[in-house]
Amino acid sequence: MYKNILITKLGKIADVQFGLYQKKEMEGSVKYLTSSHFDDDLNPTLFENSFVKLENKDNKFLLKSNDIILAGKGQRIFAWAYEEKFGKVIPSSLFYIIRTDENQVNGHYLATILNSSKKQYELTLLGSGSSMISITKKELLDLEIALPPLEEQKKIVKISKLLDEEISITSQILEKKRMFKQGVLNQLLTNKTK
């Protein structure tokens, strides 16, 4: 589809490290992300009461613009692209922090690719072997990534976001139709009993 697509290993285009293992606090200025904070659409909308106290040695775990986190252990493998508007965030050790050069890789593109059904299948195969998925760092670094030019990456992200918005609107319409149906049925049943 695109010309000049580079197929490369993730380890050649990104630095990868585990998130921080630390006990969470009820209050603080730095959010501490776990997989339970993400909804079905992979947005951190379920966040509450999970903070960490930042110490100097922990600064390397703070997410930066264009960073991606990937759940490398657990029942649900997924990627999320961090944006600075979310505030100060440190992911738990359940996640890999994937740090790329923004002049070469768009973080949202990489998250989109890692969440694609093809890469999800590959990641699941990498992590299989026990009842709980666990992807090793070496396997992750060897994962092949298709890397078109940066402008093409941005176009792919834009198309993906538009499709996500359309899916969201369709879901909202379906939910309203279900509620309308229940309301009509309740009204009909109420009128029949009078």
User: 40: alpha, beta or left, given left = phi > 0 and alpha = psi -120 to 50?
Assistant: alpha
Regarding pTM above 0.95, the answer is no
pLDDT tens digits, residue range 1-12? 556 788 899 999
**167 within some domain:** no
**121 within some domain:** yes
Q: Determine how many CB atoms are found less than 10 A away from the CB of residue 156.
A: 17
- Residue ranges making up the domain that contains 130: 6-149
What is the domain-level CATH number for residue 29?
3.90.220.20
Residue 5 carries which DSSP code? P
**122 within some domain:** yes
| Cα end-to-end distance, the chain, whole Å | 64
78, burial (CB in 10 Å: exposed 0-12, middle 13-18, buried 19+): middle
- Looking at per-residue confidence, does 69 or 129 come out higher? 69
Check pLDDT > 70 for residue 88: yes
**102 within some domain:** yes
- Looking at per-residue confidence, does 37 or 98 come out higher? 98
pLDDT tens digits, residue range 140-163? 999 999 999 999 999 999 999 899
**109 within some domain:** yes
**117 within some domain:** yes
Q: How far apart are CA 141 and CA 74, in angstroms?
A: 19
Check pLDDT > 70 for residue 15: yes
Return the percentage of the chain with pLDDT > 90, whole number. Answer: 51
- What is the average pLDDT across 10-32? 88
Number of domains in the chain: 1
Angle at 5 between CA 73 and CA 12, to 5 degrees: 45
**126 within some domain:** yes
**187 within some domain:** no
